[in-house]
A and B are shown apart, each in its own frame.
Chain A
Amino acid sequence: MGTQPNAKRPESAPSDVLEPDPELPPPAVDDAVREAEERRWTPGKIALWVVISLLGAVAWFMLAIVRGETVNAMWFVFAAVCTYLIGYRFYSKVIERYLLKPDDRRATPAEYKADGKDYVRTDRNVLFGHHFAAIAGAGPLVGPIIAAQMGYLPGTIWIIIGVVLAGAVQDYLVMFFSMRRGGRSLGQMAREELGVIGGTAALIATLLIMIIIVAILALVVVNALGESPWGVFSVGMTIPIALFMGVYLRFIRPGKVMEVSIIGFVLLMAAIIGGGAVAGTEWGAAFFHLDKTTIAWGIIVYGFIAAILPVWLLLAPRDYLSTFMKIGVIVMLAVAIIVVRPEITVPAFSEFAGRDNGPVFSGALFPFLFVTIACGALSGFHALISSGTTPKLVEKERQTRFIGYGGMLMESFVAIMALVAAISIDRGIYFAMNSPASLTGGTVEAAVQWVNSLGLSGVNLTPAELSQTAQNVGESSIISRTGGAPTLAVGLAHIMQQFIGGTAMMAFWYHFAIMFEALFILTAVDAGTRVARFMLQDSIGNFVPKFKDTSWRPGAWICTAVMVAGWGYILILGVTDPLGGINTFFPLFGIANQLLAAIALAVCMAIAAKKGAFKFLWIVGLPLAFAAVVTITASFHKIFSPVPAVGYFANNAAFAKALADGKTSFGTAKTEAAMEAVVRNTMVQGVLSVVFVVLSIIVIAAAVVATVKAFRNGGGHNHEDAPRPSRVFAPAGLVPTAAERELAAAWAKVPADKRLDRPVHH
């Protein structure tokens, strides 16, 4: 099946090229044996999958159909895990068998380009962790929380179903295609497959999207740290800690990564605890109490310096710290949710599910829920990670299913846990925290009055509840702490204190959560600025060749400054936005991320079509169509909607008219300057939306053209590296099958010096 008779070039390489070395055991389990093993359904196996299916069905029934007072968090875990298992075992298998057709007789780049540095065969389980740490960040911890405005069910369905049919598919395909191309990046693949116009549009779109993503992530940090001396102190301390770790690794004990990570972790904990003490003193509270604009400028200056400093000094140690925290935090969250099993009182669909003027983010459920939750369901940013680094480390082709598809399922699970943590807190507190100050008024009394006036069922917020919660988490106020991070921190503190430490520990857990979110985000800001700078240098280098030289300081600084100015400008707009910031800017983040996903899927579709796999093109076409419809519809809403709360230009016109009429206050903007700010911000947001959507439509159109052309010709040019025979073996998934174990045992008997070709050398 699959190989078209008239394809220009057969899909699998001519068998003589991959003739295995007769002195060695075969590098792959025999196809017939593997097939037989996969298709043999023993009673035990059947029983296992029946149980998984039943448990999943019951869990979904509890979440979606049963309308009790509360629903237990365990049902979220069961619904997610059972669906992931079914998706992994059955759907990703379909993709593997019919669309990608990995061939373990072929060597991967890690084998044929092995250099001991960038191209290194890596154990599949280790690489799974490595890849997961690279793709997971603050995104899945933020989007689901903001989306909880609509109730828990829409977000839950999108996160779980979306990942199985879209997000994990994208990651898997991009990783596989990049691996077959020696680890080429998404941008390079776009240029190769879509031609000059499509490739250039993809490059510009990627650059702009990175700017907006970095800006909004930075906005989340600013919102979490604003007016929080404790948070500012402990997050600020991560900079000297990282510098110390960098110097330690460079000069004192090179290569002792684990040692320095543990030292860094201990210092980090000390910084959190110390932050409480410092914020408790009068001078500490005064010195570290910064307003949002100051913090935003701090992050901009920091971002510029971090991007031009050598990697060893700041970026690499921060990355170690971030990876260390990431794995620890996620394990901790999972254990806590399973042990505590909180009861959720949030309704499946909230009062805002059917409206388009919710206070947390504006817009109707379709399409805005699907852009608000990007990471965790479908994240275009992953395509940049899945191409490039990870494919250079994969040991065997078949492992990409476990690492690419499986890794994304893991991230989706993180998103579900974040959702559970956020909705385990009282709904009244949720809306008081996540609605902009222009609505809540910023004071306890005004916020309570406003929240209670929303008419939400079961919500009866008291001033005491709000101030008690703020006091428990060690903050002066939690009103209008938008951006998702503080809500997750309160939710996590709420769950963790039931597990360890009680109310007395809540402040620690809250700041622990703020700390790791800030750490993830600042790592993404550093790395994002640096990656974008290189992309920009490379692009300008096409016109001014001097810029291609990455060691040329002025070029590096100019490009860094351009990128930082780009995201810095949007960050400042977001921070000073009279309408609230997050609620108007976050949709732009989601749209950008999903458009990047659409671009990545479009490239994958063109590649799959050129392979001649027309019968199974729907595997790519389905998520591509969905992402394209959602993002283009969302963009059109944002551009053309006459409702000022939704459409950027409608809002722009409304405020411009009010200004022209000589009004000095309009809506939530209380001064003329604020009104002018709204006019400027909505124009920037509107123009960005137009640029994004136009670029993406160009890329998708180019991919459709390439696909149709391939269909007419029965295939297309194959840009894969030439196949080379593999001389190693490793199992494909987490648990080796019987045949894999047998083969691995045969390989274990081969003397080490015989196993590998001596690669031609540098």
Chain B
Amino acid sequence: MDALRQGLRGVAAYFRGVMGADAYQKYLEHHEACGHGMPPMTERQFWRDRMDRQDTEPQGRCC
């Protein structure tokens, strides 16, 4: 049962990764790792910034 739950959790985490849902977490990790003085963006700020940057740097999608 535990193994099953762990497996499901793994699948969910994988999906989150593929969809890019864990982007903020990764940003925080990076921010922490390079340890500069400024506080990190809040989650709301981060997503706003991420979307707005896509306005000027569009990512292609294939046929």
Contacts and interface: CB of A to CB of B under 8 A. Distances in A.
Given A254-B43, A261-B19, A531 B63 contact: no
B34 A254 contact: no
Contact of A531 (B21, B28, B35, B60): B60
A116 interface: yes
Q: Which of B20, B50, B63 has the most CB of A within 10 A?
A: B63
A510 B41 CA distance: 45
B62 A311 contact: no
Chain A binding surface, main DSSP class: helix
Contact of A389 (B27, B53, B59): B59
Given A117-B53, A250-B48, A312-B52, A134 B18 contact: no
Interface in A304-328: 310-312, 315-316, 319-320, 322-324, 327
Interface in B6-44: 12, 14-21, 23-24, 26-31, 33-36, 43-44
Contact of B62 (A114, A135, A530, A759): A135
Contacts of A117: 23, 27, 49-50, 53
Given A255-B46, A527-B61, A550-B56, A761 B18 contact: no
Contacts of A524: 61-63
Given A382-B62, A761-B36, A311 B17 contact: no
A51 B14 CA distance: 31
Interface stretch (A125-133, A230-238, A266-274): A125-133
A381 B55 contact: no
B46 A126 contact: no
A258 B16 contact: yes
Contacts of B56: 534, 550-551
A255 B17 contact: no
B58 A320 contact: no
Interface residues of B, number: 41
Contacts of A761: 34, 36
B38 to A, nearest CB: 10
Contacts of A130: 17-18, 20
A384 B20 CA distance: 20
Nearest to B59: A389
A623 B56 CA distance: 34
B61 A316 contact: no
A753 B35 CA distance: 10
Interface stretch (A136-144, A334-342, A652-660): A136-144
Contacts of A139: 62-63
Given A115-B30, A120-B30, A255-B24, A323 B58 contact: no
Contacts of B36: 761
Contacts of A583: none
A79 B14 CA distance: 29
Contacts of B52: 310-312
Contacts of A315: 54, 58
Contact of A759 (B27, B34, B48): B34
A758 B60 contact: no
Interface string A233-252: 00000000000000001100
Contacts of A116: 26-31
Contacts of A526: 61
B10 to A, nearest CB: 10
Contact of B51 (A129, A138, A316): A316
Given A258-B19, A310-B55, A323-B18, A528 B48 contact: no
Interface of B: 12, 14-21, 23-24, 26-31, 33-36, 43-44, 46-63
Given A310-B55, A311-B51, 4 more contacts: A116-B26, A116-B28, A126-B17, A528-B61
11 contacts: A116-B27, A116-B30, A123-B17, A129-B18, A130-B18, A134-B62, A254-B46, A255-B43, A257-B21, A551-B56, A758-B35
